[in-house]
Amino acid sequence: MASQAVIDRVYFFPGFAIKRPIADESGFSPDGPVVHYQPDGTALSRRIIPSPSGGTVQTDTLRHASDSLTCFVQETNFTFRFPRHTFLSTEPNEYPAPARMLVVSDIEGNFKGLQQLLTGAGVMDKQARWRFGTGHLVFVGDMFDRGLQVTECLWLLYKLEQEAAQIGGKVHFILGNHEVMNLTGHTKYLCHKYRKNADSLRMDYARWYAPDTELGRWLRTKNVMERIGPTLFVHGGISPEVAALRLPLRQLNELTRRSIDSPKPTGRTDAELLVRNPKLSPDWYRGIAQEEAPAAHVAAVLRQYGATRMVIAHTPVEEITPLYNGQVIAIDLPHQEHVKEDFMQALWVEGGRFSVVDNLGRKQAL
């Protein structure tokens, strides 16, 4: 099978990295479900289930909201089931600080690593059931591309979100640039597996996350930036150009969501153009992560949004790294490399203190 370029990372100065191509030899394999709504209100659930030939397409009609979905993860031989959300609404922009938070980003379809981390940190049990009480799980973008269990990772957070809400907990999903890219049909970094699977399902991959699909609807309720207590969460960062717009969180998030299904940018306002600019938008900007932005800019952004610190992802770091005297924390770790060593880490926040937690639940003050 011909290889396809996927992107990994290479370090270009101490502590930070860019992505580089690696070989992708993936192909047709178990996946799904992809849930697509029909004009009559029913939904079709398409998935690829294991078979001696590598996979068989199974299509089910979902006629009732209570009809459950099944997700199988081939890599870990793990199956989980869950209902669909009965109601989806746009997420709030601000939240009070919870007693504790687990914060992670850039999983990129790495289900094994995500499962190890969430289980070890006590967010869920071995059956993938929420066990974090009123705690918050914050995902700071980029579940898509590069990995081979993107669909499964998305459904896991979708499932946990429902369970958390039932007991006062919360799952936050901040949109990263790869979420926005896939929602707008840009699949440059897509693994070969998904192109083969899309052909087998007779459903172009860009349609998997359309507005008439369950995951497409769900992702379109998410924000590009949120403030939880005194902490601002954004995948890339806030550029001086975006900060100069003086947009409140609500408007910034609305503009980003609106741009996902908008036509080409002809006639858009300056604000709409900036929130989709691949160098300056909140899901792409790297100037803070690379410490190119002046400290005064970072302080001004925090004041503008009523925060005292900012957590960012997008730009890879070797370890969770405080920047700007602790006002910024960069968390995009090399999870694909770490999982090979059964070693995963994330940011832990409890009582206003920041730590690094691993997949065995061990914590070390940051």
pLDDT recorded at residue 6:
41
CATH superfamily of 86-365: Metallo-dependent phosphatases (3.60.21.10)
**Domain locations along the chain:** 86-365
The whole-number pLDDT of residue 137 equals: 99
Tokens representing 132 are: 């974090």
Q: Give the pLDDT score at 262.
A: 83
Residue 316, both tokens: 């890879």
User: Alpha-carbon Rg of the chain, whole angstroms?
Assistant: 20
Question: How high is the pLDDT of residue 1?
Answer: 35
* DSSP result, 310-348: EEE-SS-BSS-EEEGGGTEEE----HHHHGGGT--EEEE
**Quick one: pLDDT at residue 276?**
83
Residues of the chain with pLDDT under 50: 1-7, 10-14
β 225-228/94-95 pair status: parallel
Nearest by Cα to 94 from 237, 223, 235? 223
Reported pTM: 0.93
Distance between CA atoms of 348 and 253, rounded to whole angstroms? 25
- DSSP-H helix ranges across the chain: 111-120, 150-166, 177-183, 192-201, 214-219, 240-243, 249-260, 270-274, 295-304, 335-338
Nearest to 225 by CA among 188, 268, 175: 175
pLDDT the model gives residue 127: 98
Cα–Cα distance measured from residue 110 to residue 336, given in angstroms and rounded to the nearest whole number: 7
Type of residue found at 305: Y
- Please write the tens of the pLDDT for every residue from 70-128: 999 999 999 999 999 999 999 999 999 999 999 999 999 999 999 999 999 999 999 99
Q: Closest Cα to residue 134, out of 175, 111, 166?
A: 166
Q: State both tokens at 344.
A: 């995963």
